[in-house]
Copies of this chain bind each other. A is one copy, B any other.
């Protein structure tokens, strides 16, 4: 225990001082590795249990190989110099190679324009155990045997009755060997045998219209697969309020619309795990984000108080609930973590959308929009955040637009109208035009205004050569009948324009209320972050042209894709991110637009288009 040695860590090249008897992990920690440089991972807290802190001694000799290392490493690995950093002790100078998989995971999540670093800190850890079989002389219960095999790591083997029910059979099927899944000190599962499947997690953005799922390997943080499907609640109502109204029509309907949300997530779990050749029973943790209505319907919480003024949620805190309590197909003891909500119309999806681009940490004035049937807007000044929600309606999702459609193959997604009023357009996948999706209709309105087909009040100029007046009003033919998939012309009607005006005015006046309350002018805005599928695909110029967004330099706009989904993935892979999400939800001040003085005037003022 005397002597003063040096341990060099590769590939970083950092040299640390060491005393004889210290573990390699201690040397790294005392030498500042883990603070200045990524640290050596140790999910089991340095108890030799998880086998994750493998390092290779390439120069010098460490202390004797321990029992824990013989369990975690093969004889071949040991003779190649592999050791566990938490077990191998210094007895002279060493050079140690730390492979990437033994570093504390910094995980890069990249989704359409958004790149964010997180520390992998999953809610579930797996511990490999080898349990001596029971005998008359050693008749401990199965649970005690497993707890004993985990050594100093405190685990409640009786925390989950369902996991416990499977333990005796699985222990024996696995010949007294396997992996224990632990969540917050609770044994939530046991995977028998020497070959165990990877630990899956599912992140879900439960949108009013679309449900997006991401399957993640919780051991590595890797995204394994992703998929989306239409929210099967749509038949019960297009927007949030009509779904709440449906749920209020009786217990049976409430149960049905709840079931639909659970089924959608179950379906995603099945589809995604099948993509990697596994069962949904391998999903050991699910994270769900959604607006408050989706949140409540998914959890089958009462919605009456949220559908009526003053529109309060039953609960706003983050909720952890057993998957099986909701009837979700996943691992027997697994949990669903549902992100906190902010207020009756600002939900966990908004929290996730703030979390993912780190709006809460940023200096300056940042505006964030998540445009949907409800559009949530956050205004952050040096991290001090206020949010509101405005009823922008489903026009941007193609609803209430005569030839509107969702963003499917053949949907018109961009439009140009030249000075003569002649239209060119693109469609998704270049297929024959079958309708207009959100970005297309936004373009169309902006371009028709620029071309003088619409006046600043949004009224179609009836004597414009390209405007037709039918029994039901004025319309503009975007695509003649011979160019469409359906053999009928695709038109933009006066009513369509009015829908877009209502939608953009809702968004613009919601933004103005925030700016006004904070005394912030357009020129003060450092960045506008636009999240969501629609927001990512729009032409910012068009949105500015119709007055939805302020006319500030274009480089201050950032379209970040499904930030809510990214936030959900972050919270799936990292407990710290969950904590941050909680703090965000707590710290966001909610602005109730219905209580904002002069909001109705603002809304009316924003209905027209900007006059330059």
Decide if A464 is an interface residue (CB 8 Å cutoff). no
The distance in angstroms between the C-alpha atoms of A341 and B161, with both chains bound, is 16
Restricting to A483-499, which residues have a CB under 8 Å from any CB of B? none
Decide if A44 is an interface residue (CB 8 Å cutoff). no
A144 & B316 in contact (Cβ 8 Å cutoff):
yes
In-complex Cβ contact of A317 among B143, B167, B321 (8 A): B143
- A593: shortest Cβ distance to chain B, in Å? 10
Restricting to A146-162, which residues have a CB under 8 Å from any CB of B? 156-158, 161
Q: Say whether, besides A158-B319, A165-B301, A301-B165, A313 and B595 are in contact (CB < 8 Å).
A: no
In-complex Cβ contact of A305 among B142, B299, B305 (8 A): B142
- A588: shortest Cβ distance to chain B, in Å? 13
Restricting to A565-600, which residues have a CB under 8 Å from any CB of B? 590, 592, 594-595
Q: Which residues of B contact A138 (CB under 8 A)?
A: 310
Report the stretch among A19-27, A129-137, A224-232 that lies at the interface. Answer: A129-137
Decide if A73 is an interface residue (CB 8 Å cutoff). no
26 contacts between A and B (CB under 8 A): A136-B309, A136-B311, A136-B592, A138-B310, A139-B312, A141-B316, A141-B317, A142-B313, A143-B313, A143-B314, A143-B317, A144-B315, A144-B316, A156-B317, A157-B315, A157-B317, A158-B315, A161-B299, A161-B301, A164-B301, A164-B315, A165-B300, A165-B314, A167-B314, A168-B305, A169-B302
Closest 3 CB pairs of A and B: A143-B315, A141-B316, A141-B313
- A268: shortest Cβ distance to chain B, in Å? 21
Q: Which residues of B contact A168 (CB under 8 A)?
A: 301-302, 304-305, 314
A141 & B341 in contact (Cβ 8 Å cutoff):
yes
The distance in angstroms between the C-alpha atoms of A158 and B136, with both chains bound, is 45
Decide if A344 is an interface residue (CB 8 Å cutoff). yes
Q: Say whether, besides A136-B309, A313-B141, A325 and B592 are in contact (CB < 8 Å).
A: no
Decide if A172 is an interface residue (CB 8 Å cutoff). yes
Q: Which residues of B contact A169 (CB under 8 A)?
A: 302, 304
The distance in angstroms between the C-alpha atoms of A319 and B158, with both chains bound, is 6
Decide if A343 is an interface residue (CB 8 Å cutoff). yes
Q: Which residues of B contact A343 (CB under 8 A)?
A: 139, 141
- A265: shortest Cβ distance to chain B, in Å? 16
Decide if A140 is an interface residue (CB 8 Å cutoff). yes
- A542: shortest Cβ distance to chain B, in Å? 34
Q: Say whether, besides A135-B310, A305-B134, A325 and B141 are in contact (CB < 8 Å).
A: no
B314 & A142 in contact (Cβ 8 Å cutoff):
yes
Q: Say whether, besides A144-B316, A158-B317, A302 and B165 are in contact (CB < 8 Å).
A: yes
